[in-house]
Amino acid sequence: MIFKTKPADVFKERHNGPDKEQMQDMLGTIGVNSLDQLIDETVPAAIRLKKPLNLPAALTEKDFLNKFSQIAKQNKVYKSYIGLGYNDTIVPPVILRNIMENPGWYTAYTPYQAEIAQGRLEALINYQTMVMDLTGMEIANASLLDEGTAAAEAMGMFFAQRKGARKNATRFFVSDLVLPQTIDVLASRATPIGIELVIGDHQEADLNDESLFGALLQYPAANGAVYDYTDFISRAHGQDILVAVAADILSLTLLTPPGEMGADAVVGTTQRFGVPMGFGGPHAGYFATKDAFKRVIPGRIIGLSVDAEGNRAYRMALQTREQHIRREKATSNICTAQVLLAVMSGMYAVYHGPRRLKYIGLNVHALTQQLDKGLKALGFEQQNQHYFDTLNIVLGSADMQEAIRKEAEATGINFLYNGDTKIGISLNQNTDLQDIKAVLAVFAKVAGKSADVLTIDTLPEETDITWADSLIRKSEYLQQEVFNKHHSEHEMLRYMKHLENKDISLVHSMIPLGSCTMKLNATSEMIPVTWPEIGQLHPFAPSDQTKGYEQIFSDLEAWLCEITRFDAVSLQPNSGAQGEYAGLMVIRAYHESRGDHHRNIALIPSSAHGTNPASAVMAGMKVVIVKCDEKGNIDVADLRAKAEQYKNELSCLMVTYPSTHGVYEESIIEVCQVIHDNGGRVYMDGANMNAQVGLTSPAHIGADVCHLNLHKTFCIPHGGGGPGMGPIGVVKDLAPFLPGHAVRKINGEKAIHAVSAAPWGSASILPISYAYIAMMGGEGLTEATKVAILNANYIKARLEQHYPVLYVGKNGRCAHEMILDCREFKKVGIEVEDIAKRLMDYGFHAPTVSFPVAGTLMVEPTESEPKEELDRFCNVMISIREEIREIESGKADQKNNVLKNAPHTAKVVMVENWERPYSREKAVFPMAFLRDNKVWPTVSRIDSAYGDRNLVCSCAPIEAYSENGNEMVAIG
Ligand SMILES: *Cc1c(COP(=O)(O)O)cnc(C)c1O
């Protein structure tokens, strides 16, 4: 007998949800004969690519992992004592496996739907509390992208809040001992908004200079020296100058926190709290400040509130500040941050508690003292009189430095080589006495001396901290219960699982979020992230140790160029919004290079995502809004009129494609042409790239720059609100302006300043996107785009009799997402929010609510959902529609119904006397499948306004709750 053979395991068949048969079914429902017919009816012929993607042949999962491990092995994992804000750390294995490597945590979405996000919200409030306590500040946010951008946000916040005598001041003092990459990011962010940096010695700064409005200091300083900034800060305050301090989080276990010195903001990174260096990221940047600034803090803040039953419940506080509401009035464009990494660092503090954290700090400091002693015994000069973990060694000559570098690298050790004759050594949690001896052996060998200068085998039992008494931390920290409870591994494991179980993530059901593309994050894509060759590299390690990364970057850049048809890619921006900012700064630099300094108008359609206008303002541009017509398309006449009106000042257009309304606008080529004809460039927001890959491309359509949200289109998981990556692609004449970096030279003369702290942003998650492209191949990627369009149109076909679909293309098709109009239901008192909350009772996360149109839901299924899941979602949406019809027909009450009271917790339905006008069964098991597969929301509808009026953003003291832990008493 002859049997036909075929490969048994092709990745694209795992990534794409529906199989051939299901697809045929779905096409029937939509009313087309073939997938190609659907695509032809959906994507305008004028923008279709003529050639298929030219990418390497798709690999199986097994072959990919084999091949990739060979690439990763070209990275050499040395002991890195380079410091500069990146330090080796020990990720507690219980956190590594149960959070970092756990899809229950990493596939969650940003916690907009708070009732099914209580777990990560609690984890984030722990993180905020940790940051507040350690820095000595009154309020902290739930993470920023990195230390450099956190410092820039502080500068921006101070600038917006200038006061008193310095109301109109425009200069910002930066200590020359601030980390070099932070200064680079500050330089990028200062100029466009009219700030001038003054870089100098903080001991000689002239604070009487009336042009200064703020200052930034580093603690301990970049060279490791510890200074008391109390006097500087009080003198600054006397002049109405606001002061930010960038502080090392571990040092604050021993050092007086900047908050106690009077700092107005404290920023930094929590990387060394249990997050691998990852060749630069991702890790959580932190931002803490005074209560007085609580309404102007960048990023997201998690706060406490109450639910409908008066139970304590968390949610994102002060949502009105989000840029999607403030738009061009926003002073920050932060959207995706670093939630997963903030969760990890917060858990690191939960696991270790204040006592062990202090021991970690003390051990690092004690080892540094021993090293200092040993180096002195060998005759070396160390310049830091007071230090925490960093020594600053001055050598006699550059030759000596070179000899030490050679010897160190031969033994697998990296130091910081500063100037010609200095060496910096920063120790970390992973350093032990053996490591110190190995370091001393390097110096001894070069000095021609015996290495036997440290005769001890264990650290002394006591450590004498010799810095000034005023700098020795006396205040307590992390006294809240959560940091003093979960110290055995079992307790820790159960605490994390307890939180995880409160949340809905992709492990439960599809998350149909329009614009955010919650597709499969395949396990094979995730596996390399925690390999030591990927995770344990210092971003400033010498390039001969990072050949693996070099190949990853160059392959990925080439592939992204092929996909976008651009000429060059920068992998530096570490979120979509950062990509926007970077791209606009590139356009700005381009215009300036041609003497067009006055080109500063950004045209932005009214339907744009809020980050677009916010980024434009940060890049120093003036936003002019372009109208959309009643079909949701850009009003081309209005665009043309405005482009011509501003033709001498036009910098660029920012446009999302397909539009945020889920339509491939036919006019896009003309739109780009109009902008080019008037001297502007076209910035494309690539959030909807999942509807382009393989079918069309930004460059093909006419864009000059575009960011790619790798955490949307290219499979990096959302992490509950980060990490992400937002690389930008550009056409040839813009390539020279792509971001550079102060420490690692990555671009030429014309490069703009760094937009992220690390040269390649969050480098260690790039393997995820690499894996996706390598395993899908050009054909698989193109098929994914087609299936994404198929899935969306299938949902549309199934739901449009129940919910009107706003905006479709000329053949009545939607792109990869669609907007369901829910505004009709207001007549019977049902808001779109009620539908979002009712979906929780059915075990689903809501689609995007009220973006880009208020009162609507935007649904994006992605290609990864199989037909069964799409059907389950559609059936649920139809069931909810029936529940609304019951209200419409008068069968159900307008105020007291399953939607208004959603979500229903177990506690709510288990009451003795059920008094609602519907059954308990209808409340929690409205469909049969739920009896077998129920996700129980742990709180009922949360009162956000209450929480905003009574802002509490840290682990509340236990006394804040009454006996039964239920009733919330007045706090704050
Ligand atoms: C997600 C998104 C952004 C912002 O990207 P982040 O990675 O969250 O910063 C910008 N524009 C659109 C249309 C988006 O959907």
Report which protein residue has its CA nearest ligand 1's atom 8: 336
Which of the listed residues 143, 515, 572, 708 should we mutate to test ligand 1's pocket, taking the one with most ligand atoms within 8 A of CB? 515
How far does residue 713's CA lie from ligand 1's centre (Å)?
A: 11
Q: Give yes or no for a contact between 848 and 110, defined as CB atoms under 8 angstroms apart.
A: no
* Residue 3 CB-density burial (10 A; 0-12 exposed, 13-18 middle, 19+ buried): exposed
Q: Give yes or no for a contact between 261 and 227, defined as CB atoms under 8 angstroms apart.
A: no
User: CB-hemisphere CA count at 13 Å for 793?
Assistant: 32
Q: Give yes or no for a contact between 368 and 254, defined as CB atoms under 8 angstroms apart.
A: no
Joined tokens for residue 76:
């050499």
Q: Give yes or no for a contact between 443 and 380, defined as CB atoms under 8 angstroms apart.
A: yes
Q: Give yes or no for a contact between 185 and 756, defined as CB atoms under 8 angstroms apart.
A: yes
How far does residue 109's CA lie from ligand 1's centre (Å)?
A: 13
3-state secondary structure of 285: strand
Contacts of 764 (CB under 8 A, 6+ apart): 276, 278, 279, 280, 281, 282, 529, 534, 535
Q: Give yes or no for a contact between 520 and 733, defined as CB atoms under 8 angstroms apart.
A: no
How far does residue 629's CA lie from ligand 1's centre (Å)?
A: 23
Give the atom of ligand 1 at the shortest distance from the alpha carbon of 656: 13
- Tens of pLDDT, residue by residue over 185-236, are 999 999 999 999 999 999 999 999 999 999 999 999 999 999 999 999 999 9
E runs forming strands in 233-377: 242-247, 265-269, 285-289, 302-307, 312-316
Which of the listed residues 145, 334, 336, 862 should we mutate to test ligand 1's pocket, taking the one with most ligand atoms within 8 A of CB? 336
How far CA 797 is from CA of 56, 801, 808, 818, 823, in Å, comes to 36, 8, 12, 11, 20
Give the atom of ligand 1 at the shortest distance from the alpha carbon of 333: 9
Question: Does the CB atom of residue 615 touch ligand 1 within 6 A?
Answer: no
Instruction: Tell the CATH superfamily of the 356-471 domain.
Output: Aspartate Aminotransferase, domain 1 (3.90.1150.10)
How far does residue 602's CA lie from ligand 1's centre (Å)?
A: 18
How far does residue 609's CA lie from ligand 1's centre (Å)?
A: 7
Q: CB atoms < 10 A from the CB of 906, how many?
A: 11
Which of the listed residues 335, 660, 663, 858 should we mutate to test ligand 1's pocket, taking the one with most ligand atoms within 8 A of CB? 335
Question: Does the CB atom of residue 322 touch ligand 1 within 6 A?
Answer: no
CA–CA distance, 25 with 32 (Å, rounded to integer): 10
Q: Give yes or no for a contact between 334 and 577, defined as CB atoms under 8 angstroms apart.
A: yes
How far does residue 872's CA lie from ligand 1's centre (Å)?
A: 28
3-state secondary structure of 560: helix
Give the atom of ligand 1 at the shortest distance from the alpha carbon of 709: 7
Edge-first strand order for the sheet with 942-943 is 312-316, 302-307, 942-943
Question: Does the CB atom of residue 609 touch ligand 1 within 6 A?
Answer: yes
Question: Does the CB atom of residue 332 touch ligand 1 within 6 A?
Answer: no
Question: Where, residue-wise, is CATH 3.40.640.10 in the chain?
Answer: 566-775
Short-list 528, 124, 145, 431, CA closest to 301: 124
pTM score of the predicted model:
0.97
Q: Could you tell me where the DSSP H helices lie in 800-843?
A: 832-841
pLDDT of amino acid 322: 55
CA–CA distance, 968 with 535 (Å, rounded to integer): 43
- What is the DSSP secondary-structure string of 355-422? HHHHHHHHHHHHHHHHHHHHHHHTT-EE--SSBSSEEEEE-S-HHHHHHHHHHHHHTTEE-EEETTTE
How far does residue 758's CA lie from ligand 1's centre (Å)?
A: 21
* Residue 146 CB-density burial (10 A; 0-12 exposed, 13-18 middle, 19+ buried): buried
How far does residue 712's CA lie from ligand 1's centre (Å)?
A: 9
Joined tokens for residue 429:
């949690």
Question: Does the CB atom of residue 300 touch ligand 1 within 6 A?
Answer: no
Could you say which DSSP state residue 99 is in? I
- Tens of pLDDT, residue by residue over 766-784, are 999 999 999 999 999 999 9
Phi, psi of 289, deg, nearest 5: -155, -170
CA–CA distance, 294 with 305 (Å, rounded to integer): 16
How far does residue 335's CA lie from ligand 1's centre (Å)?
A: 7
Q: Give yes or no for a contact between 75 and 534, defined as CB atoms under 8 angstroms apart.
A: yes
How far does residue 281's CA lie from ligand 1's centre (Å)?
A: 19
Q: Give yes or no for a contact between 730 and 566, defined as CB atoms under 8 angstroms apart.
A: yes
Q: CB atoms < 10 A from the CB of 94, how many?
A: 18
CA–CA distance, 380 with 394 (Å, rounded to integer): 7
Q: Could you tell me where the DSSP H helices lie in 136-264?
A: 147-160, 180-190, 230-238, 258-261
Could you say which DSSP state residue 672 is in? H
How far does residue 519's CA lie from ligand 1's centre (Å)?
A: 15
User: CB-hemisphere CA count at 13 Å for 261?
Assistant: 31
CA–CA distance, 656 with 654 (Å, rounded to integer): 7
Extract the residue ranges of the chain whose pLDDT is less than 70.
319-325, 956-972
Q: Give yes or no for a contact between 90 and 429, defined as CB atoms under 8 angstroms apart.
A: yes
pLDDT of amino acid 163: 83
pLDDT of amino acid 962: 38
Question: Does the CB atom of residue 575 touch ligand 1 within 6 A?
Answer: yes
User: Virtual CA dihedral for 265, 278, 483, 355, nearest 10 degrees?
Assistant: -90
Question: Does the CB atom of residue 195 touch ligand 1 within 6 A?
Answer: no
- DSSP H or E stretch at residue 623: strand 622-626
Question: Does the CB atom of residue 659 touch ligand 1 within 6 A?
Answer: no
Give the atom of ligand 1 at the shortest distance from the alpha carbon of 575: 7
Contacts of 220 (CB under 8 A, 6+ apart): 226, 227, 248, 251, 255, 387, 388, 389, 390
How far does residue 607's CA lie from ligand 1's centre (Å)?
A: 13
Mode of pairing for the β-strands spanning 818-821 and 856-859: antiparallel
Question: Does the CB atom of residue 517 touch ligand 1 within 6 A?
Answer: no
Q: Could you tell me where the DSSP H helices lie in 90-142?
A: 93-95, 103-106, 118-135
Contacts of 595 (CB under 8 A, 6+ apart): none
Q: Could you tell me where the DSSP H helices lie in 565-646?
A: 576-593, 611-618, 636-645
Joined tokens for residue 911:
């009451």
Question: Where, residue-wise, is CATH 3.90.1150.10 in the chain?
Answer: 356-471
Contacts of 419 (CB under 8 A, 6+ apart): none
User: CB-hemisphere CA count at 13 Å for 636?
Assistant: 10
Report which protein residue has its CA nearest ligand 1's atom 6: 576
Q: Which residue has the tokens 């992998």?
A: 571
Question: Does the CB atom of residue 110 touch ligand 1 within 6 A?
Answer: no
Pick among 3.20.20.210, 3.40.640.10, 3.40.50.2030, 3.40.50.300: CATH of 566-775? 3.40.640.10
Joined tokens for residue 258:
């900047």
Phi, psi of 955, deg, nearest 5: -55, 120
